[in-house]
């Protein structure tokens, strides 16, 4: 059964096969997108031998590594890169994907036995499953693992080393094959709310009235690991509990999403095809890696490691257009401020990219944000103003403690409404710019201070309380009205004579009714202090009144 993958999006809008090596065209070899990116499929076909290098793992980078391998392997008979797919997709009933391995019959990853190795294996489905074959247990027939996430503690303790070579952009996608009910942009706070169950209907986020169907990649996926880390960071460092409606699906397989108007899933922009729509708003940069054992051979290290004495093909100018045409950005060399081919055991945070060869529609211009939250009074509407340097279009999302929002960039600014109900306090704001076809996304932080609203006593009326028949009045009733701009005050109102409290009442709809005994007052004029004590969002106020006791 043949399954072709579509590469017609703005992020990867060229046929991947044949773009790498002009010599392949000249040789008359057929060029077209293969059903699989395995070494024995596509433009350069072979089954790796004992002298070749076998890789497995990440779905995210399986196609770009195949294209890089085709370019590198051209004309070689040994020392070739043999990169095997994570799996094929659920739509392919012959080779479906489930869990950590696909349900296909074992594949033969080498034609020659390697001491201690197993040549017939089930496809490792994802970064984690691929890296596991390097140590848990180690299969010497596997030389490297593709990974879209950094090393875990267990992987570092096992002596694995990662070599970054490109930057990927993780975002969310919805259906493009049918009209989606989702809004056009989602902030990270909104994405967190979708996956922890806070938001269950698209209407809660500005979309149509329809249930949200969230999907997440399978366990062992590097994209899943990275995505959950982003949700945890947005959740104040606490790992969120996934809602009961979150469903696992094969990483970067659009099958479950493309025909569901209510679906949403995390997706690499480099892997998004025309059947899905990339959401504006939140986007996260991440490095993608090739991972080897700590005792890897020099010949293997030379493929991925950039040093003063070795030039990695993946970090070379010959690889730039290949990487970009597959929807990624090649990392810059260390001498240019980047980290391409630099060995690491920690997740790479240096996303400086190579400025050369920018002709594929991949974003290239760096952007930066400044966040102006300012000071506002509780109950008054206001906006957070986000300035995007270096121009650009698209959307900015903000995420604060208790509020989120999305705004379109107009000129160089996005203005995002802050809810007037936000309680008094100081709030950190994280703003994320989505980027566009030419501008990279970026993020920055700022703060917003909400002060308590002022208040005023707008009326105090004191009168004798109505007495029972044939009885004299024994109490006064005071009606006190409190007002504040944009909000109805709550809390207590206290009446004092000197330092002594003679009556207390609670505000209801801005009015407090307070009774106090006539006996508390002397005959003649009495000066009383009426005080509104305030609440968490409204400042208190006091007023002196005079009450005359006649008898």
Count CB atoms within 10 A of the CB of residue 543.
Answer: 15
> Across-strand partners of 493?
505, 532
Rounded Cα distance between 332 and 283, Å, is: 21
Rounded Cα distance between 350 and 126, Å, is: 24
- Does the pLDDT value for residue 92 go beyond 50? no
Query: What's the burial of 236, exposed, middle or buried (CB within 10 Å: 0-12/13-18/19+)?
Result: exposed
Provide the pLDDT for residue 415. Answer: 86
399, 425, 451: which is the final residue of a domain? 451
In a domain, 159, yes or no: yes
Whether residues 28 and 161 share a domain: the answer is: yes
In a domain, 3, yes or no: no
Q: Are 286 and 149 in contact (CB under 8 A)?
A: yes
In a domain, 355, yes or no: no
Whether residues 392 and 533 share a domain: the answer is: no
Which DSSP string corresponds to 373-423?
-EEEETTS-EEEEEEEET---SEEEEEETTEEEEEE-BTTEEEEEEPTTPP
Helices assigned H by DSSP within 175-234 = 188-196, 222-234
418, 434, 451: which is the final residue of a domain? 451
Structure confidence at residue 364 as a pLDDT band (50, 70, 90) = low
Whether residues 26 and 125 share a domain: the answer is: yes
Query: What's the burial of 310, exposed, middle or buried (CB within 10 Å: 0-12/13-18/19+)?
Result: middle
Average pLDDT rounded to a whole number, residues 298-319:
93
Higher pLDDT, 238 or 122: 238
Whether residues 56 and 114 share a domain: the answer is: yes
Give the global pTM: 0.65
Rounded Cα distance between 29 and 222, Å, is: 34
Whether residues 65 and 143 share a domain: the answer is: yes
- The closest of 486, 300, 283, 270 to 378, measured between CA atoms, is 486
Structure confidence at residue 7 as a pLDDT band (50, 70, 90) = very low
Provide the pLDDT for residue 465. Answer: 84
Range with lowest mean pLDDT among 11-20, 111-120, 267-276, 503-512: 11-20
In a domain, 476, yes or no: yes
Provide the pLDDT for residue 444. Answer: 83
What domain count does the chain have? 4
- Does the pLDDT value for residue 385 go beyond 60? yes
Helical axes 222-234 vs 188-196, angle rounded to 10° = 110
Q: What is the rounded average pLDDT for all residues in the chain?
A: 84
Residue 214's domain is classified under what CATH number? 3.40.190.10
Structure confidence at residue 386 as a pLDDT band (50, 70, 90) = confident
Average pLDDT rounded to a whole number, residues 437-456:
84
In a domain, 532, yes or no: yes
Count CB atoms within 10 A of the CB of residue 411.
Answer: 9
C-alpha 343, offset from chain centre: 26
Count CB atoms within 10 A of the CB of residue 534.
Answer: 20
Whether residues 147 and 28 share a domain: the answer is: yes
In a domain, 432, yes or no: yes
Range with lowest mean pLDDT among 4-13, 355-364, 441-450: 4-13
Provide the pLDDT for residue 407. Answer: 79
- Does the pLDDT value for residue 35 go beyond 60? no
Average pLDDT rounded to a whole number, residues 489-509:
96
Whether residues 151 and 43 share a domain: the answer is: yes
- Cα torsion 491, 495, 500, 502: sign: negative
Range with lowest mean pLDDT among 73-87, 91-105, 174-188: 91-105
- The closest of 165, 166, 125, 129 to 12, measured between CA atoms, is 166
Whether residues 33 and 152 share a domain: the answer is: yes
Provide the pLDDT for residue 432. Answer: 77
In a domain, 341, yes or no: no
Average pLDDT rounded to a whole number, residues 371-393:
81
What single-letter DSSP state applies at residue 111? S
Angle value at C-alpha 368, between 366 and 371, nearest 5 degrees: 165
Higher pLDDT, 19 or 438: 438
- The closest of 184, 153, 156 to 171, measured between CA atoms, is 184
Range with lowest mean pLDDT among 150-159, 170-179, 355-364: 355-364
Is residue 482 within a helix (H) or strand (E), and if so which, with residue range? strand 475-483
- Does the pLDDT value for residue 2 go beyond 50? no
- Does the pLDDT value for residue 57 go beyond 90? yes
Whether residues 277 and 292 share a domain: the answer is: no
Average pLDDT rounded to a whole number, residues 360-369:
64
Residue 393's domain is classified under what CATH number? 2.60.40.10
Rounded Cα distance between 543 and 495, Å, is: 10
Structure confidence at residue 391 as a pLDDT band (50, 70, 90) = low
Whether residues 48 and 163 share a domain: the answer is: yes
Average pLDDT rounded to a whole number, residues 305-309:
91
Whether residues 431 and 510 share a domain: the answer is: no
Provide the pLDDT for residue 37. Answer: 66
What single-letter DSSP state applies at residue 82? E
In a domain, 543, yes or no: yes
Phi, psi of 221 (to 5 degrees): -75, 135
Provide the pLDDT for residue 413. Answer: 87
Rounded Cα distance between 177 and 416, Å, is: 30
- Does the pLDDT value for residue 100 go beyond 70? no
Whether residues 493 and 446 share a domain: the answer is: no
For residue 197, give its domain range: 169-285
């Amino acid at each position: 059964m043949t399954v072709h993958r579509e590469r017609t999006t703005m992020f990867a809008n060229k046929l991947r096969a044949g773009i790498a090596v002009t010599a392949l065209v000249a040789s008359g070899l057929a060029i077209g997108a293969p059903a699989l990116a395995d070494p024995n499929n596509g433009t350069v076909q072979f089954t790796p031998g004992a002298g070749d290098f076998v890789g497995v793992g990440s779905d995210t980078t399986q196609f770009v590594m195949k294209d890089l391998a085709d370019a590198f392997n051209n004309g070689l008979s040994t020392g070739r890169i043999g990169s095997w797919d994570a799996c094929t997709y659920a739509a392919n009933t012959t080779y479906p994907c489930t869990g950590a391995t696909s349900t296909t019959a074992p594949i033969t990853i080498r034609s020659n036995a390697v001491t201690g190795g197993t040549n017939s294996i089930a496809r490792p489905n994802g970064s984690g499953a691929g890296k596991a074959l390097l140590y848990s247990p180690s299969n010497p027939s596997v030389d490297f693992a593709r990974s879209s996430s950094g090393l875990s503690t267990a992987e570092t303790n096992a002596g694995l080393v990662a070599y970054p070579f490109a930057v990927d952009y993780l975002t969310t996608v919805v259906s493009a094959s049918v009209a989606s009910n989702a809004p056009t942009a989602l902030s990270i706070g909104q994405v967190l709310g979708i996956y922890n169950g806070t938001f269950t209907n698209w209407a809660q986020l500005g979309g149509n009235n329809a249930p949200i169907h969230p999907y997440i990649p399978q366990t062992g996926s590097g994209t899943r690991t990275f995505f959950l880390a982003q949700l945890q960071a947005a959740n104040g460092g606490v790992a969120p509990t996934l809602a009961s409606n979150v469903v696992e699906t094969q990483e970067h397989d659009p099958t479950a999403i493309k025909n569901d108007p209510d679906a949403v899933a995390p997706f690499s922009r480099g892997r998004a095809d025309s059947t899905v729509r990339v959401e504006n708003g939140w986007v996260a940069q991440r490095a993608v890696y090739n991972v080897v054992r700590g005792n890897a051979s020099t010949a293997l290290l030379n493929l991925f490691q950039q040093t003063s004495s070795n030039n990695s093909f993946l970090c070379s100018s010959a690889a730039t257009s290949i990487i970009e045409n597959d929807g990624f950005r090649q990392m810059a060399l260390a001498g240019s401020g980047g980290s391409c081919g630099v060995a690491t055991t920690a997740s790479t945070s240096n996303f400086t990219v190579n400025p050369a060869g920018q002709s594929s529609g991949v974003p290239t211009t760096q952007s930066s944000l400044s966040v102006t939250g300012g000071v506002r009074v509780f109950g008054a509407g206001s906006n957070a103003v986000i300035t995007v340097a270096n121009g650009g279009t698209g959307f900015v999302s903000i995420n604060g403690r208790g509020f989120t929002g999305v705004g379109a960039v107009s000129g160089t600014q996005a203005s995002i409404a802050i809810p007037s109900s936000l309680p008094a306090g100081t709030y950190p704001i994280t703003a994320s710019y989505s980027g566009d076809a030419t501008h990279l996304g970026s993020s920055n932080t700022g703060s917003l201070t909400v002060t308590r609203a002022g208040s005023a006593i707008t009326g105090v009326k004191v009168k004798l309380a109505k007495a029972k028949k044939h009885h004299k009045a024994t109490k006064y009733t005071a009606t006190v009205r409190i007002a504040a701009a944009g909000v109805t005050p709550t809390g207590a109102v206290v009446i004092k004579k000197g330092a002594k409290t003679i009556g207390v009442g609670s505000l209801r709809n801005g009015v407090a009714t307070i009774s106090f005994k006539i006996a508390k007052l002397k005959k003649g004029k009495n000066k009383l202090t009426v005080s509104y004590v305030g609440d968490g969002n409204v400042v208190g106020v006091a007023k002196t009144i005079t009450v005359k006791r006649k008898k």
